Structure 1
């Protein structure tokens, strides 16, 4: 830590000198303005960015014929979530055809990413989405609505033996992933750009809270997809209506727990969060009974029923995690007041 003494100037102003290395690195000249931002914890942030414009970061990646396709895609997703505003993909010669395929796949998956420049050996992708136009709370709300509908449709597919609906549920998991990546991206942007944080009215702590919750919701979506996959495997099996009814009942109650957890999240209600954790405990007992009943069937049926039961239980478990995050966040905020 660089310690500097506060001095008095003119009898009414307090001044402190700026570190020379920082001034040079920030390319600040004499008489240039700097921004002063008072943080919630009492610290003072000094920034050369007085316009409030989003910080521009460029990620560059060289590809060749030997580049692993999957690794390349994962790196692009990582750069997107990390908050790079532009991506430059290039090759010494002509860009491999697989690279163009991966780039198209990525721009279709990631929200706000568009190719703005393309030559034989270079592609530039730019973020065209204004982060402040996509509030984190709206994205979280949309994610929760999607995953609830996914679970409901997965159970409807089981009841009606609808393979097409099962496949539709599985495909919707991509929509949840895209929104989760967007939350992760915006959280990183907020953590690294205090001006954006102020513009969006979201603190760094809030950004982390939203990201942790979106990660949990994304996992709830994964289990809806897993249920749908197990339903597909049961399509040629005869499942007693009583078992299907029991699965529907347990799933419905588990989704009620999830809905209650999301209500606690949006309302910052720690009382409801605590009660939801208590209410979720009985889901495990119902799932155990469901698993025991499945043992009366042939192995191929029992395995898939148990898998469905486990995914239903995980929804309640993840709902508990959301509620615990709510309690942690609200108690943390109250302690700062």
Structure 2
């Protein structure tokens, strides 16, 4: 890092000199206009090329020889890192199966659509704007979907309700798509200070939204796992600790919602500390329940042990959200 002293020119203008090596590398000469981007963290970004608000990040990548799963992973990666438009090219042309693989990947990502297709290339474009409101709304919707999935998965277990379990499993893709959108915005902000400014958040707040979304997506995964267990149960009522297990799962969900309410519901940081307390108490309570299931002989005992493990993980994910809320609070108090 280099330092410069601020000079006063003409009695009213502050000036600093630019590093000569940097200026030479970017063709900076006298009279050249530079772009200055003030940021909320007291930094000032100097760019050799003036940014345009309507500039779209584009990419082009050759995918010759890619397997169908790797084609899908490439589409997901290009979307996640923040490209607004990208082109996949194949010198030998795309087969019908390869086009289906690209289309399947596109269907999993919010706002992504096929813009153009030829024999040798596929162009995809993001149709959504890049703003903070879309991040917040996505996390709010993700919380709603996750809580719905978790509540109904536990009900499906308690009643061995395969139909309800199937409904839960179907919604996991929705949770994945919502997290994917938040993940994309987060990675855009890592690549560009201008992207942070467009979102309207400071970086600690954006990270809190990302962390919350990541943990909610993991809770949704465990809700899907719990629902999958419900489809395999024979007679869960034969397990004497079923009611205690359902209560524990409910309490694990409350840890998550209480912690997330600090960011999403305007709650105070005290709710995050309360979530820590509830998490620790629940984890202690799960140990004797775990032993009871381990010692049981009913056919469904092992499967209900998987549900208990998901309840434990859910409580831990709620604790991770609470930790992010406390970190955000202490940063805000000392900025």
Normalising by structure 1, report the TM-score.
0.89
CA distance in structure 2 between the aligned counterparts of 1:28 and 1:99, rounded to whole angstroms: 46
Name the counterpart of 1:149: 148
Q: CA RMSD in A?
A: 2.5
Distance 1:288 1:3, change over 3 A: closer
| Structure 1 segment 43-192 matched on structure 2, within 5 A | 43-47=43-47, 53=53, 55-64=55-64, 66-132=65-131, 134-192=133-191
CA distance in structure 2 between the aligned counterparts of 1:327 and 1:112, rounded to whole angstroms: 32
The number of aligned residues is: 334
Kept after mapping to 1: 8 A contact 2:110/2:181: yes
Distance 1:38 1:134, change over 3 A: closer
CA distance in structure 1 between the aligned counterparts of 2:142 and 2:241, rounded to whole angstroms: 29
Question: Post-superposition shift, 1:168?
Answer: 1.9
Question: Which ranges in structure 2 are unaligned for 5 or more consecutive residues?
Answer: none
CA distance in structure 2 between the aligned counterparts of 1:199 and 1:91, rounded to whole angstroms: 34
Distance 1:26 1:105, change over 3 A: farther
Name the counterpart of 1:258: 256
CA distance in structure 2 between the aligned counterparts of 1:40 and 1:110, rounded to whole angstroms: 31
| Structure 1 segment 256-295 matched on structure 2, within 5 A | 256-266=254-264, 267=266, 269-295=268-294
SS class of match (1:135)? helix
Kept after mapping to 2: 8 A contact 1:147/1:217: yes
CA distance in structure 1 between the aligned counterparts of 2:106 and 2:26, rounded to whole angstroms: 33
Kept after mapping to 1: 8 A contact 2:35/2:48: yes
Question: Post-superposition shift, 1:21?
Answer: 6.1
**Residue of 238, 247, 250 corresponding to 1:249:** 247
Name the counterpart of 1:216: 215
| Structure 1 segment 306-321 matched on structure 2, within 5 A | 306-321=305-320
- 274-283 vs 26-35, which moves further: 26-35
Question: Post-superposition shift, 1:204?
Answer: 2.1
Question: Post-superposition shift, 1:247?
Answer: 2.3
Distance 1:20 1:53, change over 3 A: farther
Distance 1:140 1:178, change over 3 A: same
CA distance in structure 2 between the aligned counterparts of 1:263 and 1:243, rounded to whole angstroms: 31
Question: Post-superposition shift, 1:169?
Answer: 1.1
Distance 1:169 1:14, change over 3 A: same
Question: Which ranges in structure 1 are unaligned for 5 or more consecutive residues?
Answer: none
Kept after mapping to 1: 8 A contact 2:239/2:298: no
CA distance in structure 2 between the aligned counterparts of 1:329 and 1:133, rounded to whole angstroms: 17
Kept after mapping to 2: 8 A contact 1:63/1:95: no
